[in-house]
Structure 1
């Protein structure tokens, strides 16, 4: 037992890195190891994960595999999309938003099994180490965190492979497996490394795994309708869907039409810039649709305030502060704004694009044609604009009379 650690819960994917960590924890900490694997829609067969953990010496009762897809979308993705959250103008936060959920369940399992530590496979260069650990400390202040990448000397693929071979850890070579560093969940899939480390090198065409090349997408567009209630999508083409079902269906539609590809150089929280590529087909559709229904139902002041706080909200999620008081405060404000965001949006999908074709709210629309029409009306006195403009310009008039130049 090292540093007083008796039992550690490891975020375990079954891949090379976390399989090595599993063995390394036992060797270096002499503690009992519990594994936790989250199904958040990464579209992988997780059945072999249990067998592999057992082969590496983990007791069956210490292996946890949980289907969290509905919780992920309902309690994390949807609240984030109510805010229209986009980091640095483009990134829809697909990796960022999954980490607090995983941290929450790591801590829950630690509490259930009597664990006093958690462990993860995030490197010391990335954002994920921060996201996992801030979440864990927020929910279990006394938890110990073991981050092997910040402790061991296995800092190259060659050393990892040598350690695996020495300790009898099977290295599976799956046909067609991407060589990129990837992260996937129901919201997105990301790619890093290899040629992408040169920001001027275009992604290879065969890198993309979800979406159709927009140039090869169907030549016929497709029109869909999304119904919103309190800011969340609840029905697609008239069919009610659970949150994770909604995102899954939108992913399929978006992928079919080549929607949601992104090539981005972003600023990591730890300080350096990194280049990554993302596919977020369903999320791209949802963002467009949500802004469309808000344009009809949100008051101007509320809408503009939301747009002002959105970058801060997005930055909090990106940096790992989901469980912070400030994010919770902002969420309460955002959710309050969504009480009247009800109605339907009609969208056309075509070769990588999402076009709004119409929006309607029978109960909460603030669009009043009596006031906005270009035709003759009986409710708006255009002479009122004289005083409105004069009062708005008064400070300019006073400054101009004083000789001030702009």
Structure 2
């Protein structure tokens, strides 16, 4: 059954060529009123030009929404994810994945405000982002219409898109007329480069692909040492200076950039079923992850720490696959956040030529007891003779099993 065309659509709009084509396509194909939403996620580009571009394409000023969401992004999405030490498939810090639920949330909020009956994204039909956006939409507004032009329109080539842009007077930058060497997604946490020159996983990525870091070989010969302060699992300061979440991640990003930290060349398993190769740069996050694990190492109970490590892959998959607003992710988040109650203190990190190394950690709430662990004479609170009974009890089932094996061998 063919659905009726939406009347009013909230478009996630970057101001770039692709989303400008989508904007005009919504107007010409659906005859829909288009509302644009542009998020400043710290992608490193000016977002105000998107306003002028939208106006040029006929969008009324009251239908143009631009919002700086950097603090909300880091505080409510990035930091909760890092409390779990989240890594997808052993390496990926989920920089693209974690931005999508926030964009979806803002689109739904705007749709409610302006009375739109549909929302629209520019993700292709081969990738993960279409799933992430639309799962977010439906979780927040079950009856909303999700429009995905890349799954609907008939454009079969870049040339066809360019012709459409020319026919509808959409400005095309000179560097957009040819094939881009790779596609880029960026926010305050990371940059992601995929496609074209990166599609062969056997070929090293050209140096010009890297957006956020200098080469480790070009990094300074002298290490940089910093101290990161944590409160309840979240970083709050660098070298004693209290910083907002976005300001702190920005500072870590610069430190990572200057020391060649945060590059990752990865072949990952997309949720839609295919493998893809991407080059990711997450300079600040690559410093933050070992620092957070270091403060946990002295403040988190063993059982809690091991349980966190067990559930982390499940939590990572939920974020990667687009289930940020699912009840199971929220349940896991409550567990993770409870574990951070005493994760407070400072961690010293040495940054040197692509490496972020923990060199010290301390906390007023540490479980680490030097008196207990020392090889020298301790306080007497640990009696080494107690270990004999502990070992025998733990060995009991092993001894019973070994005796059974002996009996079986004797026939």
Q: TM-score, length-normalised on structure 2? A: 0.96
- Matching of residue 184 in structure 1 with residue 186 in structure 2: yes
Give the one of 255, 258, 261 matched to 2:260.
Answer: 258
| Equivalent in the alignment of 2:110 | 109
Shift of 1:178: 6.6
Q: Deviations over 1:265-313 (max 9, x none)?
A: 0000000000000000000011010000000100000000000000000
Which residue does 2:160 correspond to in 1? Answer: 159
Aligned match of 1:340: 342
Q: For the Cα contact (< 8 Å) 1:2–1:30, is it kept in 2?
A: no
Tell me the distance in 2 between the aligned counterparts of 1:326 and 1:62: 35
**2:290 matched to 1:294?**
no
Q: Are residue 39 (structure 1) and residue 37 (structure 2) matched? A: no
1:303 corresponds in structure 2 to: 305
Report if the CA contact (8 A) 1:347-1:358 is conserved.
yes
The normalised TM-score by structure 1 is 0.97
Q: Is the 8 A contact 1:82 1:231 kept in 2?
A: yes
* Cross-structure match for 1:28: 29
User: Deviation digits for residues 6-55 of structure 1, max 9, x if unmatched?
Assistant: 10000001111110000000111111100000000001011211111111
Secondary structure, in 3 states, of the residue corresponding to 1:326? Answer: helix
Question: Residues 184-223 of structure 1 correspond to what in structure 2 (within 5 A)?
Answer: 184-223=186-225
**SS of match in other structure, 2:405:** coil
Q: Does 1:321 align with 2:323?
A: yes
Q: Which runs of 4 or more aligned residues in structure 1 lie more than 4 Å from their structure 2 counterparts after TM superposition?
A: none
Q: Could you say which residue in structure 1 is the equivalent of 2:232?
A: 230
> 342-351 or 205-214: which moved more?
205-214
Residue 80 (structure 1) aligns with = 81
Partner residue in 2 for 1:14:
15
Query: Counterparts of 2:310 and 2:324 in 1: how far apart (Å)?
Result: 19
Contact 1:36 1:63 in 2 (8 A): yes
Mapped pair 1:392 → 2:380 = no
Q: What are the ranges of 5 or more consecutive residues in structure 2 without an aligned counterpart?
A: none
Contact between 1:178 and 1:207, CA under 8 Å: does it hold in 2? no
Say which is worse superposed, 85-94 or 22-31, in terms of deviation.
Answer: 22-31
Q: Please state whether the residue corresponding to 1:187 is helix, strand or coil.
A: coil
Give the conservation status (yes or no) of the 8 Å contact 1:149–1:155. Answer: no
Aligned counterparts of 2:5 and 2:219: Cα–Cα separation in 1:
57
1:38-90 alpha-carbon deviations (Å, 9 max, x no partner)? 00000101121111111111111100010000000000000000000000000
Distance 1:346 1:215, change over 3 A: same
Query: Could you tell which deviates more after superposition, 338-347 or 154-163?
Result: 154-163
Q: CA RMSD in A?
A: 1.4
Q: 2: CA distance between counterparts of 1:4 and 1:169?
A: 23
Whether the 8 Å contact between 1:2 and 1:28 is mirrored in structure 2 is no
C-alpha offsets along residues 147-167 of structure 1, whole Å, 9 cap, x if unaligned?
A: 001100113211111111111
Quick one: distance in 2 between partners of 1:129 and 1:288? 31
Query: Are the counterparts in 1 of residues 182 and 197 from structure 2 also a CA contact under 8 Å?
Result: no
Of 322-331 and 13-22, the range deviating more from structure 2:
13-22
State which drifts further: 153-162 or 338-347. Answer: 153-162
Which residue does the alignment assign to 1:64? Answer: 65
- State the aligned residue count: 403
Q: Offset of 1:395 from its aligned partner?
A: 1.0
> Does residue 92 of structure 2 align to residue 94 of structure 1?
no
What residue in structure 1 maps to residue 56 of structure 2?
A: 55
- Contact kept? 2:216, 2:259, Cα under 8 Å: yes
Asked whether the equivalents of residues 39 and 47 of structure 2 are also in contact (C-alpha less than 8 Å), the reply is: no
Cα deviation, 1:327-363, whole Å, max 9, x if unaligned, reads: 000000000000100000001100000111100002x
* 2:108 match: secondary structure: helix
Structure 1 position 330 matched with structure 2 position 332: yes
Aligned partners of 1:8 and 1:118 also within 8 Å: yes
Distance in 2 of aligned mates of 1:331 and 1:128: 22
Per mean C-alpha deviation after superposition, the further-off stretch among 151-160 and 237-246 is 151-160
Distance (whole Å) between structure 1 residues aligned to residue 295 and residue 400 of structure 2: 41
- Alpha-carbon distance in structure 1 between the residues aligned to 2:7 and 2:165: 24
